Amino acid sequence: MKIGIVCYPTFGGSGVLATELGKALADKGHIVHFITYQQPVRLDAFHPNIFYHEVTVPTYPLFDFPPYESALSSTMVDVILNEGLEILHVHYAIPHASSAYLANQILRKTGKNIPYITTLHGTDITLVGKDKMYESVVTFSINESDAITAVSDNLKAETLQYFDIEKEIHVIPNFVDIKRFSQSNKDHFRKRLAPNGEKILAHVSNFRKVKRVEDVIYTFEKIRKVIPCKLLMIGDGPERQSMEALCRELGTCEDIRFLGKQEKLEEILSITDLFMLPSAYESFGLAALEAMGCQVPVISSNAGGIPEINIHGVTGYLTDVGDVDAMATFSLDLLQDDEKLRQFKKNALAQAEKFNINNIIPLYEKLYESLI
Protein backbone atom coordinates (compact mmCIF):
# COMPACT_ATOMS: atom_id res chain seq x y z
CA MET A 1 0.00 0.00 0.00
CA LYS A 2 1.03 3.63 -0.47
CA ILE A 3 0.38 5.32 2.85
CA GLY A 4 0.64 8.96 3.92
CA ILE A 5 1.37 9.61 7.61
CA VAL A 6 0.83 13.03 9.17
CA CYS A 7 2.11 13.65 12.69
CA TYR A 8 3.98 15.98 15.02
CA PRO A 9 7.69 15.44 14.44
CA THR A 10 8.77 16.15 18.00
CA PHE A 11 9.55 13.90 20.99
CA GLY A 12 5.86 13.64 22.06
CA GLY A 13 4.24 10.22 22.20
CA SER A 14 1.95 10.68 19.21
CA GLY A 15 4.84 11.57 16.89
CA VAL A 16 6.96 8.73 18.23
CA LEU A 17 4.14 6.24 17.73
CA ALA A 18 3.35 7.51 14.22
CA THR A 19 7.00 7.34 13.18
CA GLU A 20 7.48 3.83 14.57
CA LEU A 21 4.30 2.77 12.76
CA GLY A 22 5.59 4.19 9.45
CA LYS A 23 8.96 2.48 9.88
CA ALA A 24 7.33 -0.87 10.65
CA LEU A 25 4.99 -0.57 7.66
CA ALA A 26 7.96 0.26 5.42
CA ASP A 27 9.80 -2.82 6.73
CA LYS A 28 6.81 -4.87 5.63
CA GLY A 29 7.10 -3.52 2.08
CA HIS A 30 4.59 -0.68 2.14
CA ILE A 31 5.57 2.72 0.75
CA VAL A 32 5.29 5.37 3.45
CA HIS A 33 5.24 9.14 2.97
CA PHE A 34 5.62 11.29 6.08
CA ILE A 35 4.12 14.77 5.81
CA THR A 36 5.08 17.17 8.58
CA TYR A 37 6.97 20.41 9.29
CA GLN A 38 10.23 18.78 10.41
CA GLN A 39 11.99 15.47 10.05
CA PRO A 40 10.38 13.27 12.76
CA VAL A 41 12.90 12.62 15.56
CA ARG A 42 12.67 8.86 15.34
CA LEU A 43 13.08 8.93 11.54
CA ASP A 44 16.81 8.73 11.88
CA ALA A 45 18.00 6.35 9.16
CA PHE A 46 17.61 5.89 5.42
CA HIS A 47 14.94 3.44 4.34
CA PRO A 48 14.20 2.82 0.65
CA ASN A 49 10.43 2.71 1.28
CA ILE A 50 10.22 5.90 3.35
CA PHE A 51 9.81 9.42 2.01
CA TYR A 52 9.61 12.66 3.91
CA HIS A 53 7.79 15.78 2.70
CA GLU A 54 8.35 18.96 4.63
CA VAL A 55 5.47 21.38 5.07
CA THR A 56 6.82 24.90 4.73
CA VAL A 57 4.62 27.80 5.72
CA PRO A 58 5.28 30.93 3.66
CA THR A 59 5.16 34.04 5.83
CA TYR A 60 3.87 37.49 4.98
CA PRO A 61 3.87 40.68 7.10
CA LEU A 62 0.09 40.43 7.40
CA PHE A 63 0.30 37.02 9.10
CA ASP A 64 0.55 37.29 12.85
CA PHE A 65 -0.28 33.58 12.76
CA PRO A 66 1.14 31.85 9.67
CA PRO A 67 -1.59 29.49 8.36
CA TYR A 68 0.01 26.06 8.94
CA GLU A 69 -3.27 24.20 8.35
CA SER A 70 -3.61 25.59 4.84
CA ALA A 71 0.00 24.77 3.99
CA LEU A 72 -0.48 21.28 5.40
CA SER A 73 -3.65 20.65 3.34
CA SER A 74 -1.94 21.88 0.17
CA THR A 75 1.06 19.64 0.81
CA MET A 76 -1.25 16.69 1.44
CA VAL A 77 -3.02 17.30 -1.89
CA ASP A 78 0.30 17.61 -3.70
CA VAL A 79 1.79 14.43 -2.22
CA ILE A 80 -1.40 12.39 -2.65
CA LEU A 81 -1.67 13.32 -6.34
CA ASN A 82 2.00 13.09 -7.28
CA GLU A 83 2.88 10.01 -5.27
CA GLY A 84 -0.41 8.17 -5.83
CA LEU A 85 -1.15 7.66 -2.13
CA GLU A 86 -3.99 5.27 -1.37
CA ILE A 87 -4.68 6.21 2.22
CA LEU A 88 -3.88 9.04 4.62
CA HIS A 89 -3.35 8.37 8.33
CA VAL A 90 -3.28 11.43 10.58
CA HIS A 91 -2.08 11.30 14.18
CA TYR A 92 -3.40 13.78 16.78
CA ALA A 93 -6.66 15.42 15.80
CA ILE A 94 -5.58 19.07 15.97
CA PRO A 95 -5.04 20.35 13.32
CA HIS A 96 -4.29 17.22 11.32
CA ALA A 97 -7.85 15.90 11.02
CA SER A 98 -9.31 19.16 9.76
CA SER A 99 -6.42 19.61 7.30
CA ALA A 100 -7.04 16.08 6.03
CA TYR A 101 -10.74 16.86 5.61
CA LEU A 102 -9.92 19.94 3.55
CA ALA A 103 -7.40 18.03 1.39
CA ASN A 104 -10.00 15.32 0.89
CA GLN A 105 -12.59 17.88 -0.30
CA ILE A 106 -10.12 19.47 -2.72
CA LEU A 107 -9.23 16.07 -4.17
CA ARG A 108 -12.89 15.15 -4.67
CA LYS A 109 -13.14 18.04 -7.13
CA THR A 110 -10.48 16.28 -9.21
CA GLY A 111 -12.39 13.02 -9.01
CA LYS A 112 -10.07 11.40 -6.47
CA ASN A 113 -11.41 10.02 -3.22
CA ILE A 114 -8.78 9.10 -0.69
CA PRO A 115 -9.83 7.77 2.72
CA TYR A 116 -8.33 9.28 5.85
CA ILE A 117 -7.95 7.76 9.29
CA THR A 118 -7.66 9.86 12.42
CA THR A 119 -5.84 8.39 15.40
CA LEU A 120 -6.65 10.07 18.69
CA HIS A 121 -3.72 10.14 21.09
CA GLY A 122 -4.79 11.86 24.28
CA THR A 123 -4.41 15.55 24.90
CA ASP A 124 -6.01 16.23 21.49
CA ILE A 125 -9.19 14.98 23.20
CA THR A 126 -8.75 15.32 26.94
CA LEU A 127 -7.12 18.73 27.11
CA VAL A 128 -6.81 20.81 23.94
CA GLY A 129 -9.69 19.36 21.95
CA LYS A 130 -12.23 20.11 24.68
CA ASP A 131 -11.40 23.81 24.53
CA LYS A 132 -14.44 25.65 23.13
CA MET A 133 -12.19 27.33 20.56
CA TYR A 134 -11.38 23.97 18.98
CA GLU A 135 -14.21 21.66 19.93
CA SER A 136 -16.58 22.09 16.97
CA VAL A 137 -13.80 21.69 14.39
CA VAL A 138 -12.41 18.67 16.23
CA THR A 139 -15.83 17.00 16.44
CA PHE A 140 -16.60 17.69 12.78
CA SER A 141 -13.27 16.53 11.38
CA ILE A 142 -13.20 13.39 13.53
CA ASN A 143 -16.70 12.50 12.38
CA GLU A 144 -15.77 13.08 8.74
CA SER A 145 -12.82 10.67 9.03
CA ASP A 146 -13.30 7.37 7.20
CA ALA A 147 -12.10 5.61 10.35
CA ILE A 148 -11.25 6.69 13.86
CA THR A 149 -8.84 4.92 16.16
CA ALA A 150 -7.98 5.57 19.80
CA VAL A 151 -4.91 4.28 21.63
CA SER A 152 -6.77 2.84 24.64
CA ASP A 153 -10.22 1.87 25.86
CA ASN A 154 -10.03 4.79 28.26
CA LEU A 155 -9.40 7.30 25.47
CA LYS A 156 -12.30 5.86 23.49
CA ALA A 157 -14.57 6.30 26.52
CA GLU A 158 -13.30 9.86 27.11
CA THR A 159 -13.91 10.76 23.46
CA LEU A 160 -17.45 9.40 23.52
CA GLN A 161 -18.15 11.23 26.78
CA TYR A 162 -17.01 14.66 25.65
CA PHE A 163 -17.63 14.70 21.89
CA ASP A 164 -20.65 13.94 19.81
CA ILE A 165 -19.09 11.09 17.81
CA GLU A 166 -21.27 9.34 15.26
CA LYS A 167 -18.83 6.67 14.11
CA GLU A 168 -17.28 3.59 15.62
CA ILE A 169 -13.98 4.21 17.38
CA HIS A 170 -11.55 1.30 16.92
CA VAL A 171 -9.14 0.80 19.80
CA ILE A 172 -5.65 -0.01 18.54
CA PRO A 173 -3.24 0.26 21.45
CA ASN A 174 0.25 1.73 21.40
CA PHE A 175 3.01 -0.77 20.71
CA VAL A 176 6.68 -1.30 21.44
CA ASP A 177 9.49 -2.61 19.28
CA ILE A 178 10.86 -5.21 21.68
CA LYS A 179 13.89 -5.79 19.46
CA ARG A 180 14.95 -2.23 20.20
CA PHE A 181 13.47 -1.70 23.66
CA SER A 182 15.02 -4.67 25.37
CA GLN A 183 17.54 -4.91 28.16
CA SER A 184 21.17 -4.89 27.13
CA ASN A 185 24.31 -4.98 29.22
CA LYS A 186 25.27 -1.40 30.02
CA ASP A 187 27.04 -2.07 33.31
CA HIS A 188 29.85 0.40 32.52
CA PHE A 189 27.19 3.06 32.17
CA ARG A 190 25.53 2.02 35.46
CA LYS A 191 28.88 2.24 37.25
CA ARG A 192 29.34 5.82 36.05
CA LEU A 193 25.92 6.93 37.21
CA ALA A 194 25.60 4.84 40.36
CA PRO A 195 29.20 4.06 41.38
CA ASN A 196 28.27 2.66 44.79
CA GLY A 197 25.58 0.26 43.59
CA GLU A 198 22.74 2.73 44.20
CA LYS A 199 19.35 1.82 42.77
CA ILE A 200 18.41 3.85 39.67
CA LEU A 201 15.00 5.41 39.09
CA ALA A 202 13.99 7.16 35.87
CA HIS A 203 11.28 9.39 34.47
CA VAL A 204 10.75 10.20 30.79
CA SER A 205 8.37 12.89 29.58
CA ASN A 206 7.91 16.21 27.86
CA PHE A 207 7.82 17.93 31.29
CA ARG A 208 4.35 19.38 30.84
CA LYS A 209 2.01 20.12 33.77
CA VAL A 210 -0.08 17.01 33.05
CA LYS A 211 2.98 14.83 33.82
CA ARG A 212 3.15 16.02 37.47
CA VAL A 213 6.94 15.84 37.35
CA GLU A 214 7.06 17.34 40.85
CA ASP A 215 5.60 14.09 42.19
CA VAL A 216 8.64 12.27 40.83
CA ILE A 217 10.95 14.63 42.71
CA TYR A 218 8.96 14.48 45.98
CA THR A 219 8.67 10.68 45.81
CA PHE A 220 12.39 10.37 45.15
CA GLU A 221 13.16 12.60 48.13
CA LYS A 222 11.27 10.15 50.36
CA ILE A 223 12.94 7.06 48.88
CA ARG A 224 16.37 8.67 49.14
CA LYS A 225 15.93 9.08 52.89
CA VAL A 226 15.73 5.29 53.21
CA ILE A 227 18.06 3.79 50.57
CA PRO A 228 20.93 5.07 48.42
CA CYS A 229 19.54 5.85 44.98
CA LYS A 230 19.85 8.01 41.88
CA LEU A 231 17.18 9.59 39.70
CA LEU A 232 17.47 10.17 35.94
CA MET A 233 15.13 12.79 34.53
CA ILE A 234 14.89 12.40 30.75
CA GLY A 235 13.20 14.81 28.37
CA ASP A 236 12.61 18.50 28.36
CA GLY A 237 9.73 20.94 28.48
CA PRO A 238 8.10 23.84 30.29
CA GLU A 239 8.42 22.40 33.81
CA ARG A 240 12.11 21.51 33.67
CA GLN A 241 13.50 24.73 35.16
CA SER A 242 11.15 24.73 38.10
CA MET A 243 11.95 21.05 38.72
CA GLU A 244 15.66 21.82 38.84
CA ALA A 245 14.84 24.62 41.31
CA LEU A 246 12.79 22.17 43.39
CA CYS A 247 15.75 19.77 43.62
CA ARG A 248 17.94 22.63 44.83
CA GLU A 249 15.31 23.57 47.40
CA LEU A 250 15.05 20.00 48.66
CA GLY A 251 18.82 19.50 48.60
CA THR A 252 18.59 16.40 46.40
CA CYS A 253 20.51 17.69 43.35
CA GLU A 254 23.59 15.54 43.87
CA ASP A 255 21.51 12.41 43.27
CA ILE A 256 19.42 13.68 40.37
CA ARG A 257 20.62 14.02 36.79
CA PHE A 258 18.58 15.97 34.23
CA LEU A 259 19.64 14.36 30.96
CA GLY A 260 17.46 16.33 28.53
CA LYS A 261 16.16 14.71 25.34
CA GLN A 262 17.80 11.38 24.63
CA GLU A 263 17.72 9.32 21.48
CA LYS A 264 19.14 6.05 22.82
CA LEU A 265 16.49 5.69 25.50
CA GLU A 266 16.79 1.92 25.55
CA GLU A 267 20.37 2.21 26.82
CA ILE A 268 19.33 4.32 29.80
CA LEU A 269 16.32 2.12 30.50
CA SER A 270 18.65 -0.90 30.50
CA ILE A 271 20.27 0.34 33.71
CA THR A 272 17.02 1.55 35.33
CA ASP A 273 15.44 -0.31 38.27
CA LEU A 274 12.15 1.60 38.48
CA PHE A 275 10.22 3.87 36.12
CA MET A 276 8.04 6.68 37.50
CA LEU A 277 4.91 7.95 35.71
CA PRO A 278 2.74 9.98 38.14
CA SER A 279 0.69 11.79 35.41
CA ALA A 280 -2.62 13.50 36.08
CA TYR A 281 -3.77 11.89 32.84
CA GLU A 282 -2.26 9.52 30.30
CA SER A 283 -4.33 8.07 27.47
CA PHE A 284 -1.91 5.15 27.39
CA GLY A 285 1.62 5.92 28.64
CA LEU A 286 3.93 4.85 25.82
CA ALA A 287 7.00 5.84 27.85
CA ALA A 288 6.05 3.29 30.52
CA LEU A 289 5.54 0.57 27.91
CA GLU A 290 8.98 1.21 26.43
CA ALA A 291 10.43 0.95 29.94
CA MET A 292 8.63 -2.38 30.47
CA GLY A 293 10.16 -3.69 27.24
CA CYS A 294 13.53 -3.06 28.92
CA GLN A 295 12.31 -4.99 31.99
CA VAL A 296 11.69 -1.95 34.16
CA PRO A 297 8.72 -2.13 36.58
CA VAL A 298 6.55 0.99 36.78
CA ILE A 299 5.30 3.10 39.68
CA SER A 300 2.48 5.15 38.22
CA SER A 301 -0.75 6.94 38.92
CA ASN A 302 -3.96 5.12 38.09
CA ALA A 303 -5.09 7.86 35.70
CA GLY A 304 -6.64 7.36 32.26
CA GLY A 305 -5.41 4.35 30.32
CA ILE A 306 -2.39 3.58 32.50
CA PRO A 307 -4.14 0.65 34.27
CA GLU A 308 -4.52 -0.96 30.83
CA ILE A 309 -0.73 -1.49 30.75
CA ASN A 310 0.63 -1.26 34.29
CA ILE A 311 -0.87 -4.04 36.40
CA HIS A 312 -0.95 -3.33 40.14
CA GLY A 313 1.18 -5.79 42.08
CA VAL A 314 2.42 -7.50 38.92
CA THR A 315 4.31 -5.12 36.63
CA GLY A 316 4.55 -2.33 39.19
CA TYR A 317 2.17 -0.40 41.40
CA LEU A 318 -0.56 2.19 40.83
CA THR A 319 -1.65 4.93 43.21
CA ASP A 320 -4.13 7.79 43.18
CA VAL A 321 -2.88 10.91 41.42
CA GLY A 322 -0.65 12.94 43.72
CA ASP A 323 -0.27 10.30 46.42
CA VAL A 324 3.51 10.59 46.77
CA ASP A 325 3.53 8.77 50.12
CA ALA A 326 2.04 5.67 48.52
CA MET A 327 4.39 5.98 45.52
CA ALA A 328 7.38 6.08 47.86
CA THR A 329 6.10 3.15 49.95
CA PHE A 330 5.51 0.97 46.88
CA SER A 331 8.87 1.96 45.38
CA LEU A 332 10.68 0.98 48.57
CA ASP A 333 8.71 -2.25 48.75
CA LEU A 334 10.23 -3.23 45.39
CA LEU A 335 13.67 -1.68 45.66
CA GLN A 336 14.37 -3.32 49.04
CA ASP A 337 13.37 -6.80 47.93
CA ASP A 338 15.70 -8.09 45.22
CA GLU A 339 13.72 -11.25 44.58
CA LYS A 340 10.46 -9.32 44.15
CA LEU A 341 12.16 -6.77 41.93
CA ARG A 342 13.51 -9.57 39.72
CA GLN A 343 10.02 -11.07 39.41
CA PHE A 344 8.42 -7.70 38.59
CA LYS A 345 11.08 -7.09 35.92
CA LYS A 346 10.13 -10.41 34.29
CA ASN A 347 6.43 -9.56 34.57
CA ALA A 348 7.04 -6.15 32.99
CA LEU A 349 8.64 -7.76 29.96
CA ALA A 350 5.84 -10.33 29.66
CA GLN A 351 3.28 -7.51 29.73
CA ALA A 352 5.23 -5.49 27.12
CA GLU A 353 5.19 -8.57 24.86
CA LYS A 354 1.39 -8.24 24.65
CA PHE A 355 1.93 -4.88 22.96
CA ASN A 356 4.70 -6.16 20.71
CA ILE A 357 4.81 -4.20 17.46
CA ASN A 358 4.38 -7.47 15.52
CA ASN A 359 0.93 -7.97 17.05
CA ILE A 360 -0.32 -4.42 16.53
CA ILE A 361 0.85 -3.44 13.02
CA PRO A 362 -1.45 -6.03 11.35
CA LEU A 363 -4.43 -4.31 13.02
CA TYR A 364 -3.59 -1.08 11.20
CA GLU A 365 -2.94 -2.93 7.93
CA LYS A 366 -6.32 -4.63 8.19
CA LEU A 367 -8.03 -1.30 8.78
CA TYR A 368 -6.25 0.31 5.80
CA GLU A 369 -7.22 -2.61 3.55
CA SER A 370 -10.87 -2.35 4.59
CA LEU A 371 -10.95 1.32 3.54
CA ILE A 372 -8.97 1.33 0.30
The contact set with ligand GMT (CB under 6 A) reads: 12-15, 17, 92, 121-123, 151, 174, 206, 208, 210, 281-286
Of the pair 12, 80, the CB lying nearest ligand GMT is at: 12
| Contact status, residue 32 vs residue 25, Cβ threshold 8 Å | yes
Question: Residue 156 Cβ, how far from ligand GMT at the closest point, in Å?
Answer: 13
Residue nearest to ligand GMT (CB): 122
- Strands 199-204 and 229-234, by their bridges, are parallel
The nearer residue to ligand GMT, 11 or 218, going by C-beta atoms, is: 11
**Residue 155 beta carbon to ligand GMT: minimum distance, rounded to whole angstroms:** 7
Nearer to ligand GMT, 231 or 303 (CB): 303
Closest contact distance (angstroms) between CB of 116 and ligand GMT is 18
Q: Cβ closer to ligand GMT: 4 or 305? A: 305
**Do you know the residue count of the chain?**
372
Q: Closest distance between ligand GMT and the C-beta of residue 128, in Å?
A: 10
Closest approach of Cβ 7 to ligand GMT, in Å?
Answer: 9
Question: Given the complex with ligand GMT, which of 40 and 122 has the nearer CB atom?
Answer: 122
Min. distance of Cβ 9 from ligand GMT in angstroms? 11
DSSP label of 31? E
| Closer residue to ligand GMT in complex, CB, 268/303 | 303
